[in-house]
Amino acid sequence: ILKILVRAVVENLTDSEGQQAGALQSKLKELFGRISSRHSSDAEIWRQYALLYGGGHSSNPEDNEKALQFLSKAHRCDVQTGGWEKEPALFKEVIKRGIHMGEVTVSCSEKKSNPSEALQMLSTTRLSLRSLATKAKQMHTDVATGQIHTELQDGVATLEQLITELQELSGKLRNQSQ
C-alpha cells in the first residue's frame, strides 16, 4: 500500500474525483516519519521514503540529502538482514542499490558548500560500498578460477569504479581545505 501511495504522490496521479495526489505529499512525508520510527529496520520503507524526497534526483539539494540519508538507512537494513549475501540474485540487487546510493552521494557532495560535511558524506558511503565489494569477493569468488561469480562481475566492477571516484573526490576536498 505504501508503494502505491508513494507512486501516486511522486507521479502526481489524479484520483477518481480529479484530485492530484501530489497535494498529499506533506501528509505522506509525515506518515512516513511515523512509520519509519516504528519500523526502523525495514529497508523497503526507507527506500520508499527516499523516493518521496525525489530518490536523490530532486532539484532541491536538501531533498537530495534527505533521500541520501534514507537510502543509507535502507542499505544498512539490507546488509544487516541475514542470508542475502549467500544468494547471488539478492546480492546483485543490494549492489545495484548501493551503486545508486553512491551516485546520489557524489551528486550531493558536489553541491555541499561545507567541505567537511561533503567529506563525511563521501567517507561514509565509500566505507559501506567497500565493505559490499569485499563481501562479494569473499563470498562469490570461484576458488578454481579466482573469478567473481559472473552474475556479480559487472556490479562489483561498477562498485569499484564508484569507490575510486568517491576516493578521488575526497582527495580533492582534502586538498581544498588545506
**Residue pLDDT, tens place only, 123-157:** 999 999 999 999 999 999 999 999 999 999 999 99
User: What are the boundaries of each domain within the chain?
Assistant: 2-11+24-176
pLDDT digits (tens, 9 = 90+) for 49-70: 999 999 999 999 999 999 999 9
| DSSP bridge pairs for 141 | 148
For 117, phi then psi, to 5°, come to -70, -40
Q: Is the pLDDT of residue 160 over 80?
A: yes
Global pTM reads 0.94
CATH topology of domain 2-11+24-176: 1.25.40
Please tell me the distance from the alpha carbon of residue 148 to that of residue 176, in angstroms, as a whole number: 37
Mean pLDDT on 106-117: 94
Residue pLDDT, tens place only, 71-87: 999 999 999 998 999 99
Q: Is the pLDDT of residue 176 over 90?
A: no
- Read off the pLDDT of each residue in 81-96 and give the average, rounded to a whole number: 94
Question: DSSP character for 160?
Answer: H
Exposed / middle / buried, residue 27 (Cβ in 10 Å: 0-12, 13-18, 19+): exposed
Cα 74–49–117 angle (5° rounding)? 65
